């Protein structure tokens, strides 16, 4: 796979309590435009944000939060932005009722299978996510899960595909996560082993082939993100407005 050009490398936001907080902007999209910087951010678990982290997030003008974690995850690790003044917080669990820690979803043999299963099984939730994205009225937004690579990775892939971003850049964006969250993965593996549980390493990774398989399924089954999102009940006007808000002729 070709390396991303410098102009396409997402801007990582260094935070004390979050490893995988990134600006989704910079990728080339349809019509010669690029995803605007400072509009959408993707992240891992926000429950350990420090006071300085929250100040930094506020400085980025982020005021909308979409939490994709399960109810169980949220109960165990509350989101500090949920009750903070100035933030519109939305909890939209893509896998509610399932402990989404790597290795635990029953019946899921691989991450690509889990990703693909979200399209037919979580259409209502994905519709809700994109309603919020389309109606954010120019406000900057962060969406996140626990590791920031699986549920967050699927939503990021749908957004980028909708905007006409090339597969190679969607894949490269996804693949960055394992590098970012490696300390978290090592800690999870160690704790699991102490409890007598072995987490399959491939469930911790963000290998390019995983999201490539998802993108292939998206195209073969639905012809792409736009058609899929229309099938969930989103309006063409909503999607057109979302693309217009995200795509710019400048980086």
pLDDT of residue 21: 98
pLDDT values of the chain reduced to their tens digit, one per residue, 251 residues: 344 444 455 689 999 999 999 999 999 999 999 999 999 999 999 999 999 999 999 999 999 999 999 999 999 999 999 999 999 999 999 987 443 444 444 455 689 999 999 999 999 999 999 999 999 999 999 999 999 999 999 999 999 999 999 999 999 999 999 989 988 888 888 888 888 888 888 888 899 999 999 999 999 999 999 999 999 999 999 999 999 999 987 54
Catalytic site includes residue 163: no
Task: Give the pair of three-digit tokens for residue 60.
Answer: 């980025």
Catalytic residue among 145, 163, 185, 238: 145
Signed CA dihedral, 143, 154, 12, 168: sign only: negative
Quick one: 242 exposed, middle or buried, by C-beta within 10 A (0-12, 13-18, 19+)? buried
Residue whose structure tokens are 């800690």: 187
What pTM, to 2 d.p., does this model score? 0.90
| Cβ-contact 106, 4 below 8 angstroms | no
User: How many other CB atoms are there within 10 angstroms of residue 18's CB atom?
Assistant: 24
Q: How far apart are CA 170 and CA 157, in angstroms?
A: 6
pLDDT of residue 168: 97
Q: How far apart are CA 162 and CA 172, in angstroms?
A: 17
pLDDT of residue 10: 63
Q: How far apart are CA 39 and CA 142, in angstroms?
A: 9
**SS3 state at 117:** helix
Question: Which fold is adopted by the domain 21-248?
Answer: 3.90.190
pLDDT of residue 202: 82
């Amino acid at each position: 796979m070709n390396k991303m050009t410098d102009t396409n490398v997402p801007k990582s936001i260094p935070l004390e309590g979050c490893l995988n907080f990134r600006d989704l902007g910079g990728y080339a999209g349809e019509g010669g435009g690029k995803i605007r910087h400072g509009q959408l951010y993707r992240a891992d678990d926000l429950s350990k944000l420090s006071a300085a982290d929250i100040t930094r997030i506020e400085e980025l003008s982020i005021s909308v939060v979409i939490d994709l974690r399960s109810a169980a995850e949220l109960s165990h690790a509350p989101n500090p932005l949920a009750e903070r003044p100035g933030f519109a917080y939305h909890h939209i669990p893509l896998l509610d009722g399932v402990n989404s820690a790597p290795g635990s979803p029953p019946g899921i043999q691989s991450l690509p299978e889990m990703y693909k299963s979200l399209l037919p099984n979580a259409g209502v939730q994905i519709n809700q996510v994109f309603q919020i994205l389309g109606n954010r009225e120019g406000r900057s937004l962060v969406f996140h899960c626990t590791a920031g690579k699986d549920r967050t990775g699927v939503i990021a892939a749908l957004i980028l595909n909708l905007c006409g971003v090339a597969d190679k850049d969607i894949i490269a964006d996804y693949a960055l996560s394992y590098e970012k969250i490696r300390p978290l993965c090592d800690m999870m593996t160690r704790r699991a082993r102490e409890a007598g549980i072995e987490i399959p390493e491939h469930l911790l990774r963000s290998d390019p082939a995983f999201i490539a398989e998802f993108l292939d399924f998206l195209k073969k089954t639905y012809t792409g993100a736009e058609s899929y999102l229309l099938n969930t009940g989103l309006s063409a006007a909503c999607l057109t407005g979302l693309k217009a808000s995200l795509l710019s002729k400048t980086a």
